[in-house]
Structure 1
Amino acid sequence: MLTVGVDVGGTSVRAGVVDADGAVLDTARAPTPSGEESLEEAIGAAVAEVASRHRVGAVGLAVAGFVAADRRRVLFAPHLAWRQAPVAERIARRVGLPVVLEHDANAAALAEHRFGAARGARIASLVALGTGIGGALLVDGEVFRGAHGVAPELGHLRLVPDGRPCPCGRHGCWERYCSGTALAATAVELLARHPGGSTLLAREALGDSRAVTGRRVAAAARDGDPLAERAMSDLARWLGEGLALVADVYDPEVVVIGGGVSESAPLFLDEARERYASVVTGAGHRPLARIRTAQLGDDAGIVGVAVLARELVASRSVRNGCR
């Protein structure tokens, strides 16, 4: 059976048809709307587009936010419109298929454990660098959710007291210094202090700093732009600092770096590893986690939640067969 996984992020909605081997066969994408109704319309339209070309049996939504333990409701999403919303029920009505929800980082971690970089690891963590930061922890292949289904919210660890404001309402969160959004913010701050430091980015920022995106900063860094390289180095520093906290608390065998920013890992990951190894508690006297990039790339969340959708239908079939 084919299923649809939908990655509902702060920037885009991406739907993918996934087979039983974790292969993404077809995709559709749309910008993430700001309103609740328009967001659900965009999800329904993306699912309908791929379902028109394939016979699919269920839908999974990988959501950048707090998902209730029953995986039917979104409790809170810093970058999305939902608050205490019965999203699974609403989307199921729109698309006429069973729907299950999962935190996007949990979904990506499950996919990497089954098909990718965390395969075989007993304790594995995933850090997804996108619009913000998503975090997940797997213990013996099972998602650790905490008492109320919302753990671990790594992106909102406070690394910088009185630091940059965050959409969650606090200041200094990890994702404000280590994400695609953070990379752009760092570049804009550097441009303000050193207006001649980057011809490429200064031209784009002229009149509207919103033109400077994380993708553009990464592209400029690949081209050898010195200011973009400084912004990338800043991201590497904060990634290493945050990974040290993750290791202190979880002591994982492997940490998988995923999300859209991981596509630029050659620009920052070695420096982040060095930072992590130097600042983790007991540095030089303890085993270090392996820091790996996601093998499934930006599709990990789609694949993981499509697997859960398939398992949802299978479990319902078993229950119905026992009646």
Structure 2
Amino acid sequence: MRAIGIDIGGTKIAGAVVDEFGTIVKHDRTPTIAAEPQVIEDSVVAMVQSLAEGEEIAAVGVAAAGFIDASQSVVYYAPNINWRNEPFREKLQDRLGMHIIVENDANAAGWAEFRFGAGRLVSDMVMLTIGTGVGGAIVSGDRLFRGGFGAGAELGHMRVVPGGLPCGCGAHGCIEQYGSGRALLRLANELADAGGIGQVLASVRQRKGVLTGQDVSELVTIGDPGALSALRTLGTWIGQACASLGAVLDPQLFVIGGGVAQAGDLLLDPIRQSFLESLPARGYHPEPSFAIAELVNDAGVVGAADLARQYAESI
């Protein structure tokens, strides 16, 4: 049974036909030309119709950044699109005549990793997506956790520093401000300002006018001390957050995804160390494993499609 997954990103909309084994059999993508709801809706409808041509499709899952209600129907709030209590599922069903679900993008990616990626051998998993911000997904007892109102697992907005740095969500001290790609860039610039091990970072910034995430990533790859120090600090914050999550959720596995996760063990090592240093009752209970996400850019469409297929099978 095949389903279609759509992943609405800030710069592109990706779509795919996915089979029951999580394999993409057909795919498409288009730029997100505008953040206006009608333009997004039209783009999603056109993509679904194109992908469905010649296929028997059970359902369509749409993954988008934002707060989605428990019925996987209404987008309470989306940061990059002017969606406020948007009945997106109803609108798509009216135009497509197909079974539709709408899911938070981090939940969809986490579900894909649980079903077909790094988490496929466990029943309880937490995923943190370390990109521009910090996304999250929780699987507990083989079920995706959404919370009582559907907006649970916003792990990037767990507070780690009371009265800390301001966050775009309106709070202060969220892990997103200390453990994201944006935070890594801030740390790298601070080291460049300080000199010492930040000298190479400073020279790159002076030559190019600004440091980018790609610059820091390349310097990490060649072992630059400043870039590695920034990455270790980032990992330390993430590890502390994971320890707090572990105390509440007791997962068997933490999966780390997103662009920053391309650093692999250079990121996982300080996360593990910080986690163990912060873990309550260390040494007296089993400890979870840590892994890098496997599905990378395909996770959103694969997870959305699989959740939609399961929805179709349940009705």
Please tell me the TM-score bracket, short chain as reference.
Answer: 0.7 to 0.9
Normalised by the length of structure 1, the TM-score is 0.84
1:273 aligns with 2:272: yes
1:4 aligns with 2:8: no
TM-superposed CA distance for 1:145, in Å, is 2.0
Per the alignment, residue 111 of structure 2 pairs with 110
CA shift digits 1:143-179 (9 cap, x unpaired): 2222212112211011123333221111221112212
Normalised by the length of structure 2, the TM-score is 0.86
CA shift digits 1:271-309 (9 cap, x unpaired): 211111111112343321111122222322221110122
Per the alignment, residue 290 of structure 1 pairs with 289
**Alpha carbons of structure 1 residues 20 and 202: separation in structure 2 relative to 1, 3 Å:** farther
TM-superposed CA distance for 1:69, in Å, is 0.5
TM-superposed CA distance for 1:20, in Å, is 1.7
Q: Indicate the larger mover: 164-173 or 65-74.
A: 164-173
**Alpha carbons of structure 1 residues 4 and 261: separation in structure 2 relative to 1, 3 Å:** farther
Secondary structure (helix, strand or coil) at the match of 1:268 reads helix
Amino acid at match of 2:105: D
How far, CA to CA, are the matches of 1:53 and 1:274 in structure 2?
A: 51
How far, CA to CA, are the matches of 1:284 and 1:11 in structure 2?
A: 45
Amino acid at match of 2:126: S
**Alpha carbons of structure 1 residues 164 and 203: separation in structure 2 relative to 1, 3 Å:** farther
TM-superposed CA distance for 1:84, in Å, is 1.4
Per the alignment, residue 204 of structure 2 pairs with 200
Per the alignment, residue 321 of structure 1 pairs with none
CA shift digits 1:233-255 (9 cap, x unpaired): 22111111111111111111111
8 A Cα contact 1:118 1:254, kept in partner:
yes
TM-superposed CA distance for 1:73, in Å, is 0.8
Per the alignment, residue 23 of structure 1 pairs with 23
Secondary structure (helix, strand or coil) at the match of 1:21 reads coil
Per the alignment, residue 254 of structure 1 pairs with 253
**Alpha carbons of structure 1 residues 118 and 261: separation in structure 2 relative to 1, 3 Å:** same
**Alpha carbons of structure 1 residues 227 and 28: separation in structure 2 relative to 1, 3 Å:** same
TM-superposed CA distance for 1:33, in Å, is 4.1
**Alpha carbons of structure 1 residues 250 and 11: separation in structure 2 relative to 1, 3 Å:** farther
Secondary structure (helix, strand or coil) at the match of 1:235 reads helix
Per the alignment, residue 230 of structure 1 pairs with 229
**Alpha carbons of structure 1 residues 13 and 182: separation in structure 2 relative to 1, 3 Å:** farther
CA shift digits 1:66-116 (9 cap, x unpaired): 110110011123444322111222344565643211122322232222222
Per the alignment, residue 183 of structure 1 pairs with 184
Amino acid at match of 2:207: R
What are the within-5 Å matches in structure 2 for residues 60-75 of structure 1? 60-75=61-76
Per the alignment, residue 218 of structure 1 pairs with 217
How far, CA to CA, are the matches of 1:304 and 1:310 in structure 2?
A: 10
Identity of aligned residues (%): 38
Amino acid at match of 2:78: A
8 A Cα contact 1:111 1:301, kept in partner:
yes
8 A Cα contact 1:65 1:74, kept in partner:
yes
How far, CA to CA, are the matches of 2:284 and 2:94 in structure 1?
A: 55
**Alpha carbons of structure 1 residues 236 and 72: separation in structure 2 relative to 1, 3 Å:** same
**Alpha carbons of structure 1 residues 217 and 309: separation in structure 2 relative to 1, 3 Å:** same
1:14 aligns with 2:22: no
How far, CA to CA, are the matches of 2:191 and 2:53 in structure 1?
A: 47
How far, CA to CA, are the matches of 1:79 and 1:282 in structure 2?
A: 41
**Alpha carbons of structure 1 residues 100 and 122: separation in structure 2 relative to 1, 3 Å:** same
8 A Cα contact 1:28 1:50, kept in partner:
no
CA shift digits 1:33-81 (9 cap, x unpaired): 4443444445445545645686645321122221101100111234443
8 A Cα contact 1:178 1:239, kept in partner:
yes
1:239 aligns with 2:243: no
**Structure 1 alignment gaps of length 5 or more:** 317-323
TM-superposed CA distance for 1:268, in Å, is 0.8
Q: CA RMSD in A?
A: 2.7
TM-superposed CA distance for 1:263, in Å, is 2.5
Secondary structure (helix, strand or coil) at the match of 1:137 reads strand
Secondary structure (helix, strand or coil) at the match of 2:264 reads helix
How far, CA to CA, are the matches of 2:264 and 2:308 in structure 1?
A: 30
